[in-house]
Structure formats: C-alpha cells, structure tokens
C-alpha cells in the first residue's frame, strides 16, 4: 500500500523499497527495529510536491538540503511470534519516504504512527496523511509545531546562518499546545557517541577516509547498526557537504548491486552499509572495510575494534575490525579519547559525550577548510596553496600534529574538493553578480542612456530583468532596497523608449 494514493513511484522504486525495508534473514531482528536507507530515484523529478526546493535549499545548511536524485527511506520493522500466521511470525514494515535527511524527526514520527498502524492498518494511515497535509512547509531557522495522532511534535530546522553549536528548539506557545509537546533536540543529529563507541580510537582515521571520499564498506550485525554507522560517518564532515554516494543499508537485491560490486573498475566513491557477510567475499578488493559487531565492553570501557591489514579478510566470519592498509596522516588526539573514556567511567550522559565528539570533528573539519576559503577569482593553484600553509595553515586553529600537506594533496584528488570548489565558485559568481546589480543601481541611469542606441537600451532592460528574476528567486544575495531600485530602473528605461518598443517590452 502507498499513501497518499496519488504519490507516483515506478515499479523499480517500489521493488527497491520492498527489499530495503526488511532486514536480511540472518539479522534475526526480533521485536521492533528502526533503520534507514537511501536509494536512487528513477526517471528524474516527477513528483510536483516540492516546487520550492530552491527557496528551502538557499536557507538550509548544505547537509540538510533536499536530495535532488535520491529518496531516503525511514523504516519501522516489527517481527513478533504469531501462531495465526503460516510462517509463525508477524513481519511488517512501515516506511516513510522523503527527499529530506531528517532522520531524528522521521524516526520519532514513525515511533508514534507504526504501532497504531500495525493494530488498525489502512484507516490509520489515511488519517495520518490528512494531518501531515496540514503541516507548514519546512522552514530553516523556525521552530515548527507538527500535530499528529494527538501529539504535537516540536522541532527546529537549523538555518544556514546558525552558529556551529546546535541549539534545541525553544519551547514556545506552550499554553496553546495541550498536552505538552514532544520536543526533539534535533531534526537530524544522531547519538554520535553511541554510533562510534566501538571505533573511538579510529575516529580520526575514519574522518580522513570520509574526507578523501575513499570507498568504505561497513558490515554490521543489523540494519539499524549499519544505517546509523553510515549516517554518523557521512555527518563527520560538517559544515562541508558530503559529496559522495552513501547507502545506509544496502542488499544483494538492490538494482545497483552489479554496479557497486564489479571488479572491472576501481571501487566507487561510496560509503556502503550492509549486514550480509556475503559482501566480504564479493568486495574483498575494496581498500577499506569496517566490520562492527554487537556492542561489547572490555572491563568498564567499550571494546574497540582493531586495525587490521586487508589481507586478513579471509572468511565470512571475519572478526570485527577496521581492515585497511591506509596510514592516517594526522596523529591521534589522545586527550579527546581520554576525556571520552573517562566520561564512560563516570557515566556521563551520552548526549554530552556526543557533543564533545561532534565539536571535535567540527573543529577538525573547520581547521582543514579555513586555509582553503579565501576567495580567488583566478583558477585555484594547488602549489600556491600548499606554499601558503606554512604561515596560514591549520596549525593556527588545530593542535593536532601530522602530515597536513599529504592530507591536502590527497584531498585535491577527491570528490569533496571538487564539490567544495564548485560550491565556492558558485557563491563567488553569485556575489559578483549581486555586486554588479548593486553597482548598476547606484549609477545615474539617465546620464548613461544619453548616448546609447535603442538596441543597447533594450539589452540593458532584458539583462536587468533576468538579474531581477534571479535575485527574487533568492539566488543572488541582494538587499530588498536594491531589488526595488532595479525595478524602478527598468520602468524608467522602458519609459524612455518609443511606444512600439514599450509595447513589446511591456505587453498588456
């Protein structure tokens, strides 16, 4: 069943969703399990349900922008013994499909809807869809109250201009929200510490692998562990956009299975989360494989996976470990590890541990990116940049020692450098265009028009109009006063032209 009924999915998409919404048979997920997946959209953008992408994306942080060519699937799976069913088990999944990466919000939503749905089936979903239809559009920087099934979910979508420290929504309009709302601290952030517990000693190595866009296979015991680990890894680069492909949960039935497992070319730049040990055999040629097991303790500390050479990957029952020949460029931050392990011993809350880890990764990424950010109109020169590191490098903001130069050299060959460069170039071009529009609006238009031919004047009108349309669509960072001035200029210029030309430029 698909709700709302008018939502169009291709047969291929429906098939993919079906396979991705159930754990592999050997996962043995009894009870309720929540996980997520990401799949390629077939046949481009068909659904008219988000014509305001550009408006939303211009205000949202890059990590929270709508996916143009992929769907996210958020799954609530239930498997319980049931003697009335032929197979002896009740097995059902409810999947929420979206192009927004709001994992915390949508999982919370499913935890409200799914148990009711499993009891009451279709009528429950119809009621929920009509409620969700009344929700406001997602608005970065605003706290939204989202009523569903007698509960009000309150959440704030971060804005691009927010400070780095994430701020939970401020409870507002309490008197109008009865009963008290379910307040989510974040729309998208995972419990980073819980996800990384078994790999804390390798977090910086994993951060480097993700930064460099290296192919990384995550083999986990269940889809929830797999999807959380992949999403945690891809969130490590904030505020940098993660530009490679990633699949929080992937199965052998996926339509892209052959594409990802071929040995005739180098492994693709993807972080792939799987649960079927068959992938160890199929992807032995991949350079980095992270195998995580069920969480275990070593004394009173979380047991850490070991670093192992890829040649040790021999059998399907390979032990947990990070199998890679990669040598980290940066030295491990022992002070951070000490604080985190001490936090475990002192039973420090997981959200505090996560905040420590998130801040460390954010500062690490920012220290790496800051030297790259001075705008340049001329083409980027890697050699000039590397020479500048001695006096303006990451050592100014980061205490970590290591081979930063080597890390930058590899980064320049990665999809993330290409993504970063394109983004900066686009921002620069838009800024220059905005400055150009402002300069035109500051000029004396009557004086300019005195010695110009009609062709030149008409050309100015057309170009100004085009800029105005782009600026009003929030593609150009310009003030409202500039937009009004540009509109006035267009009207003044058209008014100076002969009547026949005016009729062409201003049709009734």
Question: Which of 254, 256, 197, 209 minimizes the C-alpha distance to 234?
Answer: 209
Of the candidates 78, 76, 138, the residue with the CA atom closest to the CA atom of residue 112: 76
Of 373, 389, 419, at which residue does a domain stop?
419
Q: Quickly state the pLDDT bin for 310 (edges 50, 70, 90).
A: confident
Rounded Cα–Cα distance for residues 462 and 156 (Å): 40
The C-alpha atoms of residue 69 and residue 45 are separated, in whole angstroms, by 7
Query: Cα separation of 9 and 505, whole Å?
Result: 43
Q: Which of 419, 438, 473 is the last residue of a domain?
A: 419
Residues 354 and 256 in one domain: no
380: phi then psi, degrees, rounded to nearest 5: -70, 130
What lies within 8 Å, CB to CB, of 256 at 6+ separation is 40
Q: Yes or no: say if 241 and 63 are a contact pair by the CB < 8 Å rule.
A: yes
- What number is the average pLDDT over the span 190-204? 95
* Percent of the residues in the chain that have a pLDDT greater than 90, as a whole number: 46
- Least confident residue range of 113-117, 306-310, 342-346, 448-452: 448-452
Residue 304 covered by a domain: yes
Q: Are residues 124 and 24 in the same domain?
A: yes
Rounded to whole angstroms, the Cα distance separating 73 from 98 reads: 7
Q: How confident is the model at residue 373 (pLDDT cuts 50, 70, 90)?
A: low
Q: Which residues contact 329 (CB under 8 A, 6 or more apart)?
A: 208, 402, 403, 404, 406, 407, 410
Residues 224 and 138 in one domain: no
In this structure, are residues 276 and 20 in contact, taking their beta carbons and an 8 Å threshold? Answer: no
**What's the domain count of the chain?**
4
Confidence of residue 76 (pLDDT cuts 50, 70, 90): very high
**Average model confidence (pLDDT) for the chain?**
86
Domain final residue pick, 139, 158, 177: 158
In a domain, 182, yes or no: no
| Token pair in block for residue 317 | 């029952």
In the prediction, which pLDDT does 337 show? Answer: 95
- For residues 216 and 232, give the distance between their C-alpha atoms in angstroms, rounded to a whole number: 13
Task: Answer yes or no: is 303 within a domain.
Answer: yes
Q: Does 125 lie in the same domain as 23?
A: yes
pLDDT for residue 501 is more than 60: yes
Contact predicate 501/458, CB 8 Å: yes
In this predicted structure, what is the pLDDT of residue 508? 54
Cα gap 120→114, rounded to integer Å: 10
Question: Under a CB-based contact definition with an 8 Å cutoff, are residues 503 and 467 in contact?
Answer: no
Identify the CATH number of the domain in which residue 314 sits: 3.40.50
All residues at 6 or more sequence positions from 474 whose CB lies less than 8 Å from its CB, including other chains: 54, 55, 58, 59
pLDDT at 166: 46
Check if the beta carbon of residue 350 is closer than 8 Å to that of residue 194: yes
Mean pLDDT of 194-217: 96
Domain-embedded: residue 186 = no
> Does residue 420 register a pLDDT over 90?
no
Domain enclosing residue 388, as ranges: 337-419
Residue 375 lies in a domain: yes
Q: What is d(CA 243, CA 234) in angstroms, rounded to the nearest whole number? A: 9
On the question of pLDDT at 111 being above 90, the answer is: yes
32 and 132: one domain?
yes
Q: pTM to 2 decimals?
A: 0.82
* 151 shares a domain with 262: no
Q: Does 179 reside within a domain? A: no
Q: How far apart are CA 322 and CA 304, in angstroms?
A: 10
In whole angstroms, how far apart are CA 66 and each of 13, 118, 346, 349? 18, 30, 40, 32
Element (H, E) at 470: helix 454-472
Same domain, 440 and 402: no
Categorize the per-residue pLDDT at 217 as very low, low, confident or very high, splitting at 50, 70 and 90. very high
Q: Are residues 92 and 202 in the same domain?
A: no
321-331: per-residue pLDDT in tens? 999 999 999 99
DSSP, collapsed to helix, strand or coil, labels residue 427 as helix
Rounded Cα–Cα distance for residues 387 and 391 (Å) = 9
Q: Same structural domain for residues 196 and 317?
A: yes
Check pLDDT > 50 for residue 165.
no
Q: Mean pLDDT lowest for which of 220-234, 241-255, 325-339, 436-450?
A: 436-450
Q: Are residues 270 and 358 in the same domain?
A: no
Residues 241 and 260 in one domain: yes
Q: What percent of the chain has pLDDT over 70?
A: 91
**Is 249 domain-assigned?**
yes
Domain-located, residue 177: no
| Confidence at residue 454, expressed as pLDDT on a 0 to 100 scale | 77
How high is the pLDDT of residue 290? 96
The set of residues, in sequence order, having a beta carbon less than 8 Å from that of 215 and lying 6+ positions away, is: 266, 267, 268, 269, 270, 272, 286, 287, 288
Which residues does residue 396 pair with via DSSP β-bridges, in sequence order? none
Q: What tokens were used for 432?
A: 């220059």
How many Å apart are CA 249 and CA 27, to the nearest integer?
Answer: 12
144 and 33, same structural domain? yes
Say if residue 175's pLDDT is above 60.
no
Point out the least confidently predicted range of 57-71, 162-176, 304-318.
162-176
């Amino acid at each position: 069943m698909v709700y709302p009924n008018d939502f169009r999915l291709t047969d291929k998409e429906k098939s993919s969703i079906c396979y991705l919404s159930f754990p592999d048979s050997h996962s043995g997920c009894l009870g309720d399990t929540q996980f997520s997946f990401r799949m390629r959209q077939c046949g481009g953008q068909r659904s008219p349900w988000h014509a305001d992408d550009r408006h939303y994306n211009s205000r949202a942080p890059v990590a929270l922008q709508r996916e143009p060519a992929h769907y996210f699937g958020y799954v609530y799976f239930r498997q319980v013994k049931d003697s009335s069913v032929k197979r002896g088990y009740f097995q059902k999944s409810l999947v929420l499909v979206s192009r927004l990466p709001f994992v915390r919000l949508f999982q919370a939503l499913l935890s409200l809807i799914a148990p009711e749905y499993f009891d009451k089936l279709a009528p429950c979903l119809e009621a929920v869809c009509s409620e969700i239809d009344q929700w406001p559009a997602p608005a970065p920087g605003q706290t939204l109250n989202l009523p569903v099934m007698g509960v009000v979910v309150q959440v704030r979508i971060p804005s691009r201009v927010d400070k780095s420290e994430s701020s939970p929504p401020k409870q507002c309009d309490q008197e109008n929200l009865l009963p008290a709302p379910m307040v989510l601290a974040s729309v998208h952030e995972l419990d980073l510490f819980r996800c990384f517990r078994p790999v804390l000693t390798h977090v910086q190595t994993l951060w480097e692998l993700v930064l460099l866009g290296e192919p990384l296979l995550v083999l986990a015991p269940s889809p929830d562990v797999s999807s959380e680990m992949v999403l945690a890894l891809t969130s490590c680069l904030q505020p940098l956009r993660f530009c490679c492909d990633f699949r929080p949960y992937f199965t052998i039935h996926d339509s892209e299975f052959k594409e990802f497992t071929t040995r005739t070319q180098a492994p693709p730049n993807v972080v792939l989360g799987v649960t079927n040990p068959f992938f160890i055999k199929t992807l032995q040629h991949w350079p980095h494989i992270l195998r995580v097991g069920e969480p275990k303790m070593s004394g009173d500390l979380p047991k850490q996976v070991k670093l192992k050479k890829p040649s040790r990957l021999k059998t399907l029952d390979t032990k947990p470990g990070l199998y890679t020949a990669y040598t980290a460029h940066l030295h491990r931050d022992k002070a951070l590890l000490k604080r985190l392990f001490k936090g475990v011993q002192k039973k420090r809350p997981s959200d505090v541990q996560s905040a420590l880890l998130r801040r460390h990764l954010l500062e690490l990424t920012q220290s790496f990116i800051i030297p790259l950010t001075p705008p340049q109109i001329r083409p980027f020169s890697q050699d000039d940049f590397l020479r500048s590191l001695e006096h303006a490098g990451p050592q100014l903001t980061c205490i970590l020692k290591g081979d930063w130069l080597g890390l930058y050299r590899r980064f320049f060959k990665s999809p993330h450098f290409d993504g970063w460069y394109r983004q900066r170039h686009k921002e620069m071009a838009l800024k220059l265009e905005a400055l150009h529009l402002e300069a035109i609006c500051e000029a004396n238009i009557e004086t300019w028009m005195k010695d110009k031919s009609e062709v030149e004047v008409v050309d100015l009108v057309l170009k100004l109009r085009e800029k105005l349309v782009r600026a009003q669509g929030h593609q150009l960072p310009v003030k409202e006063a500039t937009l009004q001035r540009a509109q006035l200029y267009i009207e003044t210029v058209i008014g100076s032209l002969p009547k026949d030309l005016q009729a062409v430029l201003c049709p009734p």
